[in-house]
């Protein structure tokens, strides 16, 4: 007989918070938000507010894939300064692109991000809500670069 595993405490907490905080509605809002191109001009399109972001593949057809979900106290700093303009140590995704040999160096990673990815952001000011929504979004999207 196959053993049935009970959900972990963390999984139960994520589900409870998803229901209590209308995370489905927040997720729908995130998905309906504009897709922002990486590049020098993106800085003016990003808020300095706190929030959750998703990095998606830039695909000509409708088969985009979420590759990373993150949270931050400052969307502009995290996405522009750390991910796009920073070094390998400044953002997990940038580091993983270099370590996986998809990119040879930091400049190569910057160009790769510009050419291959877009981002969407959702402003969420409450730190706990950001944390739980990020975990909820990861459980939905299953991005390849989130551990």
Q: What is the pLDDT of residues 46-60, one digit of tens each?
A: 999 999 999 999 876
Q: In Å, what is the CA distance from 11 to each residue of 120, 132, 135?
A: 25, 11, 9
The string over 79-98, giving b where at least 16 C-beta atoms fall within 10 Å of a residue's C-beta and e elsewhere, is bbebbbebebeebbbbbbbb
Structure confidence at residue 65 as a pLDDT band (50, 70, 90): very high
User: What is the C-alpha to C-alpha distance for residues 99 and 76, in angstroms, rounded to an integer?
Assistant: 25
Choose between 37 and 61: higher pLDDT. Answer: 37
What is the pTM for the complete model shown?
A: 0.84
CA dist 27 and 82 (Å) reads: 24
Mean pLDDT, range 60-65, rounded to an integer: 76
Non-local (6+) Cβ contacts of 81 within 8 A are: 90
């Amino acid at each position: 007989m196959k053993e049935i595993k009970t959900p972990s405490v963390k999984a139960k907490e994520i589900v409870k918070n998803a229901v209590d905080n209308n995370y489905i509605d927040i997720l729908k809002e995130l998905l309906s938000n504009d897709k922002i191109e990486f590049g020098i001009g993106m800085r003016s399109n990003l808020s300095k507010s706190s929030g959750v972001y998703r990095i998606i593949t830039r695909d000509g057809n409708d088969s985009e894939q979420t590759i990373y979900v993150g949270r931050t106290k400052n969307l502009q700093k995290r996405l522009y300064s750390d991910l796009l303009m920073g070094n390998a140590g400044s953002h997990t995704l940038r580091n993983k692109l270099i370590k996986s040999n998809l990119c040879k160096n930091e400049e190569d990673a910057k160009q790769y991000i510009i050419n291959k990815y877009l981002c969407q952001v959702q402003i969420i000011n409450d730190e706990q809500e950001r944390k739980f929504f990020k975990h909820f979004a990861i459980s939905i999207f299953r991005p390849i670069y989130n551990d």
